[in-house]
């Protein structure tokens, strides 16, 4: 059973390039610009089962990842590392909510301050307008 899962999550080199590109949030055009090639050439690369080590090193540099990381990339490793990161970093939903609430307090105070300033500016502007109207009459 685990062999089936591993096979589904293991890609040929072109698919690895595609997955890492997508995980970075890049389009084929973004990667093409970094590599100095066309979008069509990136598409062809992503469909290639075998990409030489030199080309893969060039691609890994463009993507901002290590050669080994790109070469050995599997979805299984990403899932494993992601799960372990969250389990071992001390982050929990409670911590996240507390941090958001801590951030919202200064934000709420800033909004209230800007709203007060806006009300005062409107009042001053209205006073100036009223003074101009009275002076013209």
Segment 25-78, tens digit of pLDDT: 889 999 999 999 999 999 999 999 889 999 999 999 998 888 888 888 877 776
The answer to whether residue 137 scores a pLDDT higher than 50 is yes
Whether 15 and 23 have beta carbons less than 8 Å apart is answered as: no
pTM over 0.85: no
11, with CB counted inside 10 A (0-12, 13-18, 19+), is middle
48, with CB counted inside 10 A (0-12, 13-18, 19+), is middle
Residue with tokens 């590599």: 35
**What pLDDT, in 10s, does the model give residues 68-126?**
888 888 777 766 666 665 555 555 555 555 555 556 566 777 788 888 999 999 898 88
CA distance 83 to 21: 21
């Amino acid at each position: 059973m685990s062999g089936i899962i591993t096979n589904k999550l293991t890609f040929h080199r072109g698919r690895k390039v595609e997955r890492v590109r997508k995980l970075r949030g890049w389009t084929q055009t973004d990667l093409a610009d970094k590599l100095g090639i066309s979008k069509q050439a990136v598409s062809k690369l992503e469909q290639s089962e075998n990409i030489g080590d030199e080309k893969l090193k060039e691609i890994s540099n463009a993507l901002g990842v290590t050669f080994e990381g790109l070469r050995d990339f599997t979805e299984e490793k990403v899932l494993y590392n992601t799960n372990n990161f969250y389990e071992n970093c001390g982050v929990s939903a409670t911590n996240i909510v507390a941090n958001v609430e801590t951030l919202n307090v200064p934000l709420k105070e800033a909004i209230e301050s800007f709203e007060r300033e806006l009300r005062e500016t409107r009042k001053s502007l209205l006073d100036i307008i009223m003074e101009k109207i009275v002076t013209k009459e």
